Structure 1
């Protein structure tokens, strides 16, 4: 009879087996998707206090890609950074607020600027009002960031770059003039009211009628908007720009167009074009070649350094175009027949 050998197997209790499975599950290996070496996946809930301190990241860049930060530590970290950002924001200087209307007494301590005008100038430049630095120094466009004097030089109006302190030499040496729409100074143009600018338009037109420049250039689109609003009330189209009255009327001229239901679409206004504007002032003078019979209007962007819509090269191009037009007007080679005629006495009376 064959001998039967038996091997004794140590008994394993259910409690020890459960403990063993929990220990092994913490070191479970999961293969990575790209086939590289397996990555250990350990639940952060089962880490001891020592482990949490060991793997606590110092910054966002130090966070391990395979380990998620406990929610409690994220909350503490977020609150820390939020408090830090709040303290840094509080230490910064407050944001500069936009200016609004300022009454004349705010800048009553500043001086007014003198106009530099003469009769029969080629171009007279008109700004909106003297800036703070111009009023302090007593010279037009005195702020170093202003492009006016650079534009004059680079466009050929002046052979050299003039300093603002030489503004008084423009009428006699270069046949150019300087004036402003509003006389009182301010730090920014927005500190003038719209009513104040509108009331100043007749005085500017009176200067045009008195000194008769060939070209009157507004340095800034906003100034022209104020002036044109007044010019439209006292301007008439010449007969050459109107339709020929002898031509038969169009068959559809007397046919009423039926109204469509619904809200009508508004036609957007035409885009503003810098340069010569469709208005002129006709002066009552003798037909002499030495007299200026008409004054044309020209608009260039503001030469302030704060204007970002037009950079210095763009402004120089428009100043160059102004010089070319003024030379054509001086030779009598510029056609003005289709321009509206402004009745200056009606506006200045």
Structure 2
């Protein structure tokens, strides 16, 4: 996916459709769409973002999905949404009020779709959106109805604090808590083997 500077700039402020269905095992929640995601229509589309590799290497998916494969997540019991719908060049452009409003919308979405787990990828976004300034990574005390809440590290390549191995370990630890079987060990179908 290659977009001109003008095409990316025109994606500023756009929204990105959720990948969502009722009763998912996990609804993954990003901070907000980046410009490349908004321009392409695919979540976590920036090449340096480690969401898709971490998801696979932690055992959530049988192969590493590309952003354009995002709808395949639904068949595996997973979905994607964002705390803030508005696309920006970086999360630093978001205002605290947008996080709070997004947190309210996210709560309503969880009530409607009833995933077993909500996994927010970004501690800063979670702290503001859920008014939990002392929250730490991992399982949260707060639950949303019957939905457990977990905070994972932000998979952005700009998040140097979390190396790729540490990020994968965090995703794997979460998968183990959810009871989701290790899909990375699933046998390949004839289509995957070629």
TM-score band w.r.t. shorter chain: 0.7 to 0.9
**TM-score (norm: length of structure 2):** 0.83
User: Which of 29, 34, 50 is the equivalent residue of 1:147?
Assistant: 50
1:107–1:186 Cα contact (<8 Å) kept: no
Q: CA deviation at 1:112?
A: 2.2
User: Which of 312, 328, 332 is the equivalent residue of 2:164?
Assistant: 312
SS at match of 2:120: strand
Decide whether aligned partners of structure 1 residues 163 and 315 sit closer, same or farther in structure 2, where only a CA change above 3 A counts.
Answer: same
Q: Equivalences for 1:105-254 in 2 at 5 Å?
A: 111-171=14-74, 173-229=75-131
Q: CA deviation at 1:110?
A: 6.2
Indicate the structure whose relative CO is greater, using CA pairs within 8 Å and at least 6 residues apart: 2
Decide whether aligned partners of structure 1 residues 222 and 147 sit closer, same or farther in structure 2, where only a CA change above 3 A counts.
Answer: same
CA offsets, 1:222-258, max 9 Å, x none? Answer: 11101331xx7xxxxxxxxxxxxxxxxxxxxxxxxxx
CA offsets, 1:282-334, max 9 Å, x none? Answer: 2xxxxxxxxxxx10100011000001111111110111111111118xxxxxx
1:127–1:219 Cα contact (<8 Å) kept: yes
State how far apart, in whole Å, the 2-side matches of 1:322 and 1:144 are. 24
SS at match of 1:315: helix
Mind listing any 5+ residue stretches in structure 1 that lack a counterpart?
Answer: 1-105, 233-268, 283-293, 329-349
Moved >3 Å (runs of 4+): 106-111
Decide whether aligned partners of structure 1 residues 313 and 193 sit closer, same or farther in structure 2, where only a CA change above 3 A counts.
Answer: same
State how far apart, in whole Å, the 1-side matches of 2:18 and 2:53 are. 20
Mind listing any 5+ residue stretches in structure 2 that lack a counterpart?
Answer: 1-8, 181-194
Rg comparison, structure with higher value: 1
Decide whether aligned partners of structure 1 residues 186 and 281 sit closer, same or farther in structure 2, where only a CA change above 3 A counts.
Answer: same
State how far apart, in whole Å, the 2-side matches of 1:135 and 1:306 are. 18
Q: Equivalences for 1:284-323 in 2 at 5 Å?
A: 294-323=146-175
1:111–1:138 Cα contact (<8 Å) kept: no
CA offsets, 1:10-31, max 9 Å, x none? Answer: xxxxxxxxxxxxxxxxxxxxxx
State how far apart, in whole Å, the 2-side matches of 1:136 and 1:274 are. 30
CA offsets, 1:30-68, max 9 Å, x none? Answer: xxxxxxxxxxxxxxxxxxxxxxxxxxxxxxxxxxxxxxx
State how far apart, in whole Å, the 1-side matches of 2:114 and 2:89 are. 31
2:50–2:164 Cα contact (<8 Å) kept: yes
Decide whether aligned partners of structure 1 residues 122 and 136 sit closer, same or farther in structure 2, where only a CA change above 3 A counts.
Answer: same
What do you get for the CA RMSD once the two structures are aligned?
Answer: 1.9
State how far apart, in whole Å, the 2-side matches of 1:138 and 1:108 are. 10
